[in-house]
Amino acid sequence: MQQDAPKVRLFVDAPLGDGAAVALERAQAHYLFTVMRLGQGDAVALFNGRDGEWRAVATEAGRKGGALRCAALLRPQAEGPDLDLIFAPIKKARTDFIAEKACEMGARRLIPCLTRFTNAERVNVERLRAHAVEAAEQCEILSVPQVLAPAPLAALLDAWEAGRRLMVCDEARDAPPAMDALRAAGREAGSGPGPWAVLIGPEGGFAPEERARLSEAPFVTRVSLGPRVLRADTAAVAALALWQAALGDWRA
Amino acid sequence: MQQDAPKVRLFVDAPLGDGAAVALERAQAHYLFTVMRLGQGDAVALFNGRDGEWRAVATEAGRKGGALRCAALLRPQAEGPDLDLIFAPIKKARTDFIAEKACEMGARRLIPCLTRFTNAERVNVERLRAHAVEAAEQCEILSVPQVLAPAPLAALLDAWEAGRRLMVCDEARDAPPAMDALRAAGREAGSGPGPWAVLIGPEGGFAPEERARLSEAPFVTRVSLGPRVLRADTAAVAALALWQAALGDWRA
């Protein structure tokens, strides 16, 4: 069906369905009708992260707003693995990058996490979400990771969801190779991987008490990402790739 | 030995060895003595990608130049896997990012490659090298990938080195999952992985004749990186991570 997909893709919040009308905000109308030079009757691919991807036609093309009407389902919504990415915020450009990559790599939620050595500039949740949305629009992805409010690491661990496992990428060199550890965890889990999260530590590393707490948590799988120090954004992509390959939708 | 390592690391071209004197260029002297506020007698960690990492002491600290003398070997040079990253240049910021990530992920050479659908801005080899050097300096890495001059894909394949295998990340969905394909190739190869290269295609994909040629090449292992479209920079990190985990130095 991809041959029929319009070249312009747009993420919207509104519900999508056969015949559904979608009102456009000013910025969206500007993008479609001024930047992309579409007009009334032209087609756009719409997705909202919930209802699949729809071919929609512009029914009203104004400078300050407009409307589209859903005409045909292009792709049904497909749920990826239940995978969170928890990361300690770093410099703004690299944090933006992590949001973009989390989307491409199929994370379902993105959770900024404050640790003792987090060099936290303020985390702008809306900005992270915008980067994830842009990645989804450009990469033909149907799901946009939910971006949660920043939370201290201890609070996340205190409120840990029963049954969710946590892959901790630890720069201490005594953890087993990630691929081996994940495959072993997968064999224990049986049929499906179940819910997981990946935790990328701050650039200064975890504090000793944080490392101790993570080591003791029964839901944690500590892994090593090789012999070189990785920046946090690199570690995020690498860890998600290994998780998807071992347990997620990159398998056969 | 890392406790004794000076905090400031500097990449130099000069040979390093016990008692070796290293002259500093103006920019290096500016960085050490003005930006980092070091002075005569202060220690720096030096590496050149060949002779390991050395503790060196400033013997001359001027505004326009200076000199260091190697005092003690901190870490011997360790050779990583023989792994090239071949990539089609993309937007400048993402190409810079690929150079940085190639270094962190342990690629030995970085080869810009021109394909039919490469949207080639000019490739600045020196700029790519500077990004790789910066990553090595900041991430405590001893090796800096060599950056080769851009070459057309056909020329690279015409002159392909005997015995080197090529992992081709193909967005066509009929290739096997990367991890499976790499492990199978590893079993065939026997003891060590031998020389490899990873090829990341252009954002527009390979042209049909390029894909045909790659499919026929006996040294090619075609792989899939999952069901989502990845930007080229994401694909580079993910592919290198899977290669290192399957065949490289991320194994036990």
User: Is B3's pLDDT higher than 60?
Assistant: no
CATH number of A198's domain: 3.40.1280.10
Q: Which residue has the higher pLDDT, B122 or A222?
A: A222
**Nearest residue to A244 via CA among A127, A52, A101, A116:** A101
Q: Could you report the per-residue pLDDT of A62-112, keeping only the tens digit for each? A: 888 999 999 999 999 988 899 999 999 888 888 899 999 999 999 999 999
Give A-chain residues touching B140 at CB under 8 angstroms. 228-229
Task: Fill in the DSSP letter of residue A31.
Answer: I
Q: Which of B104, B180, B250 sits opposite A231 (nearest CB)?
A: B104
Give how far B64 is from chain A: nearest CA, Å.
Answer: 31
Residue A239 lies in a domain: yes
Q: Could you report the per-residue pLDDT of B64-122, keeping only the tens digit for each? A: 899 999 999 999 998 889 999 999 988 888 889 999 999 999 999 999 999 998 866 67
Residue A115 lies in a domain: yes
Contact A229 B104 (CB under 8 A): yes
Residue B156 lies in a domain: yes
Q: Which domain holds residue A37?
A: 2-75
Domain identity same for B71 and B87: no
Confidence of residue B139 (pLDDT cuts 50, 70, 90): confident
Nearest CA in chain A to B102: A234
Q: Number of folded domains in chain B?
A: 2
Confidence of residue A189 (pLDDT cuts 50, 70, 90): confident
Domain identity same for B201 and B102: yes
Reduced to 3 states (helix: H, G, I; strand: E, B; else coil), residue A234 is helix
Residue A252 lies in a domain: no
Q: Which of B41, B75, B109 is the last residue of a domain?
A: B75
Confidence of residue A3 (pLDDT cuts 50, 70, 90): very low
Reduced to 3 states (helix: H, G, I; strand: E, B; else coil), residue A51 is coil
Give B-chain residues touching A245 at CB under 8 angstroms. 177-179, 242, 245
Residue B41 lies in a domain: yes
Q: Which of A43, A58, A75 is the last residue of a domain?
A: A75
Give me the residues paired with residue A43 across strands.
Answer: A57
> What is the structure's pLDDT at A1?
40
Give A-chain residues touching B242 at CB under 8 angstroms. 241-242, 245
Domain identity same for B127 and B145: yes
Contact B231 A139 (CB under 8 A): yes
Domain identity same for A121 and A194: yes
Residue A219 lies in a domain: yes
Residue B213 lies in a domain: yes
| Mean residue pLDDT across chain A | 91
Task: Decide: A67 and A101 in contact? Cβ < 8 Å.
Answer: no
ipTM: 0.89
Q: Which of A78-87, A185-194, B150-159 has the lowest mean pLDDT?
A: A185-194
Question: Can you give the C-alpha Rg of chain B in angstroms?
Answer: 20
Residue of A75, A77, A167, A234 best to disrupt the B interface, most CBs of B under 10 A: A234
Give A-chain residues touching B104 at CB under 8 angstroms. 228-231, 234
Domain identity same for B63 and B99: no
Q: Half-sphere exposure (CA, 13 Å, Cβ side) for B114?
A: 10
β pairing state of B43-47 and B53-61? antiparallel
Domain identity same for A56 and A95: no
Query: What does the alpha-carbon distance between residue A24 and residue A62 come to, in Å, rounded to a whole number?
Result: 10
Domain identity same for A66 and A127: no
User: Is A173's pLDDT higher than 80?
Assistant: no
Domain identity same for B69 and B132: no
Task: Fill in the DSSP letter of residue A202.
Answer: -
> What is the structure's pLDDT at B121?
61
Give A-chain residues touching B227 at CB under 8 angstroms. 249-250
Confidence of residue B190 (pLDDT cuts 50, 70, 90): confident
> What is the structure's pLDDT at B120?
66
**What number is the average pLDDT over the span A189-197?**
87
Which residue is it, tokens 């900005």? A127
Domain identity same for B210 and B241: yes
Residue A251 lies in a domain: no
**What number is the average pLDDT over the span B12-37?**
94
CATH number of A27's domain: 2.40.240.20
Give B-chain residues touching A244 at CB under 8 angstroms. 226
Which residue is it, tokens 């500077």? B130
Phi and psi (nearest 5°) for A123?
-95, 125
Distance of CA B114 to the CA centre of its chain: 18
Domain identity same for B59 and B117: no
Three-class SS string for chain B?
Answer: CHHHCCCCEEECCCCCCCCCEEEECHHHHHHHHHHCCCCCCCEEEEECCCCCEEEEEEEEECCCCEEEEEEEEEECCCCCCCEEEEECCCCHHHHHHHHHHHHHCCCCEEEEEECCCCCCCCCCHHHHHHHHHHHHHHCCCCCCCEECCCEEHHHHHHCCCCCCEEEEECCCCCCCEHHHHHHHHHHHHCCCCCCEEEEECCCCCCCHHHHHHHHHCCCEEEEECCCCCCCHHHHHHHHHHHHHHHCCCCCC
Domain identity same for A159 and A188: yes
Q: Which of A52, A75, A98 is the last residue of a domain?
A: A75
Contact A104 B225 (CB under 8 A): no
Residue of A91, A100, A228 best to disrupt the B interface, most CBs of B under 10 A: A228
Q: Which of A100, A139, A230 sits opposite B228 (nearest CB)?
A: A139
Domain identity same for B68 and B87: no
Give how far B59 is from chain A: nearest CA, Å.
Answer: 30
